[in-house]
């Protein structure tokens, strides 16, 4: 029990810097939500229970356009389908005997950044670390959305534009250190960047949604590097 509490606290501390980045990006999301008629309280709870930037932005747009609930659900599912793959990858590495309910709860905690810091830790991933990271990060995402709705229009346009790219910089910062340690990981990262750009220019592929392109790239790159550079898991959780 003590080890689980320690892992939770460690995850919480690592989640706070992610939350700071989330807050900055969520302010720009809140500005859009305000234009669509959402109140600060509505925006706060929308972000607290969804915490998906692209999915939420599409949902706000669709709501404003009078779209049906079924359309909103389907679009959100497609845009965020990559998290299914992340959930599979994380569950395969969790401790043997982890209850199904705990595994399902961990999957609801996944964001790109939380998945990144969880999977990058040496040893077997702990659900309690992931839970802590979520508690540290997501409330700041929700608070940022509410802040954007409440006072975002006061900010200069240049600041709003800068906030919109903060999350991408933070995500890069979470994967580059691992790439510096392992040449195979670095090659996978660089290949992902190159292919991601190429997919936006190639016929047919460029017409796919960004979410579907992400899924295709994830399967393609991870499969190729899993075959070329198979890894043997081992070790235990470390702080």
Establish if 83 belongs to a structural domain.
yes
Going by C-beta distance under 8 Å and a sequence separation of 6 or more, which residues neighbour residue 151? Answer: none
User: For residue 229, is it within any domain?
Assistant: no
In a domain, 200, yes or no: no
Residue-wise pLDDT tens digits, 30-47: 888 888 889 999 999 999
Query: First vs last Cα of the chain: how many Å apart?
Result: 15
- 95: region left, alpha or beta (phi > 0 left; psi from -120 to 50 alpha): beta
Q: What is the mean pLDDT of residues 83-112?
A: 88
112: in domain:
yes
Check if the beta carbon of residue 239 is closer than 8 Å to that of residue 10. yes
Tokens of 150: 């409440």
Q: Tell me the mean pLDDT in the region 62-66.
A: 79
Q: What is the pTM of this model?
A: 0.68
Residue at 88 is within a domain = yes
In a domain, 192, yes or no: no
Please give the residue range of the domain that contains residue 60.
Answer: 2-164
Number of structural domains, the chain?
A: 1
CB 29 within 8 A of CB 148: yes
Q: Is residue 18 part of a domain?
A: yes
In a domain, 147, yes or no: yes
d(CA 28, CA 20): 14
Structural tokens at position 133: 């990271």
N residues, the chain:
239
Mean pLDDT of 10-20: 93
What is the C-alpha separation between 182 and 209, in angstroms, rounded?
Answer: 31
Percent of the chain with pLDDT over 90: 23
């Amino acid at each position: 029990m003590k080890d689980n509490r320690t892992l939770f606290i460690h995850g919480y501390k690592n989640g706070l810097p992610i939350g700071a980045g989330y807050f900055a990006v969520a302010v720009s999301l809140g500005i859009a939500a305000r234009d669509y008629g959402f109140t600060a309280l509505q925006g706060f709870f929308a972000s607290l229970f969804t915490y998906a930037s692209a999915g939420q932005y599409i949902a706000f747009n669709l709501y404003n356009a009078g779209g049906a609930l079924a359309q909103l659900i389907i679009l959100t599912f497609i845009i965020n389908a990559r998290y299914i793959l992340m959930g599979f990858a994380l569950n395969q590495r969790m401790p043997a005997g982890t209850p199904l309910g705990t595994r399902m709860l961990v999957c609801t905690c996944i964001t790109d950044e939380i998945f990144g810091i969880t999977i990058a830790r040496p040893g077997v991933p702990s659900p309690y670390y992931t839970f802590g990271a979520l508690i540290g990060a997501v409330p700041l995402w929700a608070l940022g959305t509410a802040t954007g709705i409440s006072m975002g229009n006061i900010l200069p346009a240049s600041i709003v534009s800068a906030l919109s790219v903060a999350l991408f910089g933070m995500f890069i910062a979470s994967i580059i250190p691992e790439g510096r340690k392992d040449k195979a990981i670095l090659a996978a990262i660089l290949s992902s960047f190159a292919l991601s750009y190429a997919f936006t220019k190639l016929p047919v592929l460029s017409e796919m949604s960004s979410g579907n392109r992400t899924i295709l790239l994830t399967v393609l790159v991870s499969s190729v590097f899993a075959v070329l550079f198979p890894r043997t898991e081992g070790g235990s959780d470390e702080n």
